[in-house]
Amino acid sequence: MEVPKHDTILVLDFGAQYSQLIARRVREQHVYSQIVPYTISADEVARIAPKGLIFSGGPASVRTEGSPRPDAKLFDLGIPILGICYGLQVLSVMNGGEVERPHQKEYGFAHLSIKDNRSELLAGLSERSQVWMSHGDAVKSLSGNFLCTGSTENCTYAVVEDPKKKWYGVQFHPEVVHSPEGSRLLANFVRTICKANADWSMESFIESQIASIRETVGGRQVLCGLSGGVDSSVVAALIHRAIGDQLVCVFVNNGLLRKGESDLVLSVFRDHFKIRLRYADARRLFLDALKGVTDPERKRKIIGKVFIDVFEMEARAAGAIDFLAQGTLYPDVIESISPSGGPSVTIKSHHNVGGLPEDLRFTLLEPLRELFKDEVRQLGRELGLPDEIVNRHPFPGPGLGVRCVGEVTQERLDTLREVDAIFIDEIRKAGLYGDIWQALACLLPVKSVGVQGDERTYEEVCSLRAVTSEDAMTADWYRFPPDVLARASARICNEVPGVNRVLYDVTSKPPGTIEWE
């Protein structure tokens, strides 16, 4: 693991669903954070030399034999520690305290009663601050110099600390929005107790990455698959700023893009940024390969295979290439961390260029691997990318191929493009685009009877979908004002030939997925 160049807080992950959120909250203090497995050795931590450690929550019970434990030598390093939920319990039992299963589990809102106003951790928090609890076990007793500095109605030891050793623990989750003053508590730990410098900013990230890219690449060439999505666009803009014409981008038009998307990509990257761009118009190849196919999994495999074939041809035509740039983000890296902490070198299947032939040997260049999605968007704005790229909703790799439910034909794709464009246009006009994680339209393989212009029609049906989410693992359907859906429906039926019925999808994830196929 590379030693960070900034003051760093390490988040030891015990399997919590909120570990990434903890790291993001630390970065909001302009302090760099890294998530590492709880199995990280004390020697490795000492080498990284972080300003502080945060033990995350986790699903295990600390009272169970074999439950996760960090290296005991961490407590000898003299580094401030904050334990959250399970992290508090681990901190307690490994230093002589006791944890029990209380009569009543605690999930949901609670109010914190501060017992010691001298606590640096709780400085500035209001009395009866709202906090979010989610635990089955609780600390029963403390040992040594540990003090109880905060309680709730159902949790005696909601906040504990040993101020001499700078060990702190909270039973609640300060990282979630349900704990409104949690950010202040984390700031107290990171900035006051750990004395970490606020030197993590997007400007400093750009400077360090440009220097790193130039040092790594030297005078050689980098290939980047450009899709028009946020991640690949930001990667291209960053690398181009670092090495200019040593970057070669490949944009494959598969015919499955949204309305105006290919023109936007060419305008931004070829005409504005002056990036060396190889444009492969492969629309006919994809359509021919998809002819007669209706099974969604077969569609995805066909689209992926044709993409690889076209990308390979363009890569060979680009000449001598040593590096392949990818938009790997920090959540991707975290997902592939092995229990021993070793980095994964596998190109994940969700990246467009996974599956290239073995004789196309590249060294991966992943300049975004330290960033979360919201930070990538911020970086894109700093690099001068337009809002219509930086703030755009996620779009699947197979594109409209998996939103054109049933057989994919040129006519159905053209219809779907118009439906999608009208839906997004009405969302933007209503000022709601930024409130929605993802909005999409699907063309369904059914027809319905309608009346248009005093004539009976038998045309296709489309479904509109919009969801809110933080990470796409779960999602809830978006509650539009009825007039927005009414306008979208009226425009679609009036302006798009071949569609006479509009549905709105009110399925959450789970049980449904965000995409239909």
d(CA 516, CA 442): 8
Q: Which residues pair with residue 108 across a beta bridge?
A: 133
Any alpha helices (H) in 13-122, and if so which ranges?
19-27, 42-48, 86-93
Q: What is the DSSP string of 207-252?
A: HHHHHHHHHHHTT--EEEE--SSHHHHHHHHHHHHHHGGGEEEEEE
Give the whole-angstrom CA distance, residue 269 versus residue 436: 26
Tell me how far apart the alpha carbons of residues 12 and 40 are, in angstroms, rounded to a whole number.
Answer: 8
CA distance 258 to 388: 13
Element (H, E) at 52: strand 52-55
Catalytic residue among 106, 161, 175, 517: 175
The token pair at 421 is 């464009």
Amino acid at 374: D
Three-state secondary structure string covering 291-302: CCCCCHHHHHHH
CA distance readout (Å), 117 to 121, 125, 150, 471: 10, 9, 10, 37
173: annotated active-site residue:
yes
Active-site residue, from 85, 194, 404, 462: 85
What one-character DSSP code corresponds to residue 392? P
- State yes or no: is 175 an active-site residue: yes
Catalytic residue among 6, 30, 135, 173: 173
Please indicate whether residue 297 is annotated as part of the active site. Answer: no
CA–CA distance, 345 with 333 (Å, rounded to integer)? 10
511: left (phi over 0), alpha (psi -120 to 50) or beta: alpha
> Which of helix, strand or coil describes residue 264?
helix
Expressed in angstroms, the distance from the first to the final Cα of the chain is 38
Active site residues: 85, 173, 175
